[in-house]
Amino acid sequence: MPGTPGATGGVAGAEAAALPAAPTPGCALHRRLHLAVEAADLVAVGAVRRRLRSALSHWGVPELADTAELLSSELVTNALLHTGQGAVFDAVLTADLRLRIEVQDAAARLPGRRRDPDAEYATSGRGLVLVEALADCWGVQLRGDGKVTWFELASP
């Protein structure tokens, strides 16, 4: 279902309530939110947050929303600011209620070293510090067409 461009952000994506409808043996039932974010569309970061909060509520895990929104905002914003290109956002909730968020971009550069921002004056530099502090686990995977930065949260 395409997002609305303009003031609400230009995200496009498909939201699936449950895939597959009846799990086959060995396959875990999961839920997925998949969104594409256009290059330089920082307004779309808010739309990603809203769609994620709605999906988590619909999936029955609203307690993950605050942390998932914050960390997703950081990763999507980093992808847009530091690559000059768009990003692909994926959120998957597995049957064991683990949420995995992935943000893919087309830059093969790994994030720079984690830096401790000046608490009084810096307006950026806190993203990966927050991800490291709040996620159960996180990482970066290089892919042939760029990289994926990801984190996971477990439902309490």
Lowest mean pLDDT among 29-33, 34-38, 79-83, 139-143: 29-33
107 falls within a domain: yes
24 falls within a domain: no
pTM: 0.79
Which residue has better confidence, 28 or 48? 48
At residue 120, what are phi and psi to the nearest 5 degrees? -90, -35
3-state SS class at 45: helix
Which residue has better confidence, 14 or 68? 68
Comparing CA positions, the residue from 16, 17, 79 lying closest to residue 44 is: 79
pLDDT at 15 over 70: no
Structural domain for 123, as ranges: 31-154
Of the spans 26-40, 71-85, 119-133, which averages the highest pLDDT? 71-85
Q: Across the chain, what does the average pLDDT equal? A: 82
40 falls within a domain: yes
Which residue has better confidence, 18 or 85? 85
126 falls within a domain: yes
94 falls within a domain: yes
118 falls within a domain: yes
Which residue has better confidence, 114 or 58? 58
Question: Total domain count for the chain?
Answer: 1
Name residues whose C-beta falls within 8 Å of residue 75's C-beta, 6 or more positions apart in sequence.
Answer: 101, 103, 127, 131, 149, 151
pLDDT at 92 over 90: yes
> Which H/E stretch holds residue 48?
helix 44-58
Instruction: Give the domain CATH number at 98.
Output: 3.30.565.10
Q: Would you tell me how many other CB atoms lie within 10 Å of the CB of residue 6?
A: 9
Q: Strands of 137-143's sheet, edge to edge?
A: 11-19, 30-37, 87-93, 98-105, 146-154, 137-143
79 falls within a domain: yes
**Residue 41 and residue 48: Cα distance in Å, rounded?**
11
pLDDT in tens, 53-89: 999 999 999 999 999 999 999 999 999 998 989 999 9
42 falls within a domain: yes
The arithmetic mean of pLDDT across residues 11-27, rounded, is 46
pLDDT at 121 over 70: no
